[in-house]
Amino acid sequence: MSEVNNNEELALPPQYSRSRDNQVTNNFNINNESSYTQVEPPLYAESTPSDQESDLPQEYHKRRQIQQEENECSICCRDCSPEHQIKGQTAIVTGGTKNLGGETAKELARLGANLFLHYRSNEQQAKDFQKELSSKYPDIKIELYQADLTDDASLKKLFDEAKSKFSNGIDIAINNVGQVVKKPITEITEEEFNSLDSKNNKVAFFFIKYAGLNLNKNGRIISIGTSLLAAYTEYYGGYQGTKAPLEFYSKAASKELLPKGITSNIVSPGPMETSFLLNSETKESVDFFKTVGLHGRLTQVSDIVPIIRFLVTEGTWITGQNIFANGGFTSPK
C-alpha cells in the first residue's frame, strides 16, 4: 500500500505541521495544563526539515539523527520496519481456500506468513489450492483444516488445532465465514434465520473469543463484515441483522485486548464479484449494483485484499474500526 521512499521527509510529531514554504507550526494552543485546542489542520509538504525546527522536541531530533545515520525510515514509512513484517508469522483464515479468503491467503503467503487454512465443504478444491500455494511459496508451511464452525466447541478446536501445528503460535486471525439469504423478512423461515444467525453472528463472536484467548502478543484479528450494514434497503434484513452484532464484538474485543497489543477490526466489502453474491442475485440486481459505485463495476476481491494486508502490516495503529470498502456504494455516517 505504501511505497518505500528513503528520501521522504521525516514525519513531525502530531502537534506540529510544516507549511508549503517550510514553516513549522505548533498546531495546538495550550489552554490549561491538561487540555489542548487544535487551531489549524496539519499541512504536508515536500520540502526538507530546516533550522526553523529548532524548537522541536529532543525526541524528534534524536529519531531524525538515527534515521540519517542508518539511512532508513523510522516513522514515515513502515515497509522497512521489522515490526511491520509478517514473514514467519502464522495466520488462520476461515473459508481460506477460495474467493476473498483464498486471495487473502495468497497475499499473506506472498509476504512470507505460514497459513492455517480452514475450509468447510470442498476438500478437493482446498487440496488443489494448498498444492498451488505450496509450489509457489515452498518456504512457508500451509496446513488445511476442515470444519463446520457454528458452535463454541468448533471454534475452540480451530485454534487448538492451529496451535498444535504451529509451535510459535498464531499471530493473525481472519474470519471470513458468512451466509446471505436475500428474501423479505415476511418470507424468512426459522430454519433460515437460525442458519444466518449461526454463520454470521455466532461464528463471529466465538471466533473473536478464541482469537482473543489464543493470539500471540501484538496479534491481529480481522472479521469480514458487509457494506450492507449502511444500506437502507429491502430483502437483506436477515443478513444485515445477523452481521450487525459483529461490530460490537469486534469493538469491545479491541478495547479488552489492548493490554496484549492485539488489534481487532472489521473490513466490510461492497457487493463483491464472487459466487457468494452471484448465486443470490439476479442479473438485474447485479447490473444495479454496478451503477452505484466507482467505475461502473462491482467490488472485486482485489479491492479488499490490500486493505487486509495493510491492517496486518503497517496499519498497526488502527483498532476497533469497521472499514467500509465499496467504491461509494454506502457510507455509515
Q: How far is the CB of 177 from ligand NAP (least distance, A)?
A: 4
135-154 residues in contact with ligand NAP (CB under 6 A) are 148-150
- Is residue 109 a contact partner of residue 137, using CB atoms and an 8 Å limit? yes
Q: Which stretch binds ligand NAP (CB under 6 A): 30-38, 76-84, 97-105, 133-141?
A: 97-105
Q: How far is the CB of 92 from ligand NAP (least distance, A)?
A: 13
Tell me the CA distances in angstroms from 154 to 91, 123, 158, 242, one per residue in order.
18, 18, 6, 19
The grid cell for 150 is 457454528
Residue whose CB is less far from ligand NAP, 99 or 134: 99
Residue whose CB is less far from ligand NAP, 263 or 274: 274
Tell me the C-alpha distance between 212 and 220, whole Å. 9
Applying CB under 6 A, does 176 fall inside the site for ligand NAP?
yes
Residue 238 sits at φ, ψ, to 5 deg, of -65, -40
Nearest of 241, 331, 237, 235 to residue 292 by alpha carbon: 331
Terminus-to-terminus CA distance in the chain, angstroms? 25
Q: Which stretch binds ligand NAP (CB under 6 A): 55-63, 91-99, 214-222, 244-252?
A: 91-99
Applying CB under 6 A, does 212 fall inside the site for ligand NAP?
no
Quickly count: other Cβ atoms within 10 Å of residue 186's Cβ.
Answer: 6
Can you give the C-alpha Rg of the chain in angstroms? 22
Q: How far is the CB of 228 from ligand NAP (least distance, A)?
A: 7
Q: How far is the CB of 269 from ligand NAP (least distance, A)?
A: 4
Applying CB under 6 A, does 271 fall inside the site for ligand NAP?
yes
- The correct pick among 105, 158, 272, 312 for binding ligand NAP (CB under 6 A) is 272
Residues in binding contact with ligand NAP, number by CB under 6 A: 25
Applying CB under 6 A, does 182 fall inside the site for ligand NAP?
no
Applying CB under 6 A, does 155 fall inside the site for ligand NAP?
no
Q: Which stretch binds ligand NAP (CB under 6 A): 33-41, 73-81, 114-122, 185-193?
A: 114-122
Applying CB under 6 A, does 308 fall inside the site for ligand NAP?
no
Q: Which residue has the cell 539511512?
A: 71
Closest residue (Cβ) to ligand NAP? 178
Q: How far is the CB of 101 from ligand NAP (least distance, A)?
A: 6
Applying CB under 6 A, does 120 fall inside the site for ligand NAP?
yes
Applying CB under 6 A, does 327 fall inside the site for ligand NAP?
no
Binding site residues, ligand NAP, CB under 6 A: 95, 98-101, 120-122, 148-150, 176-179, 199, 224, 226, 269, 271-272, 274-277
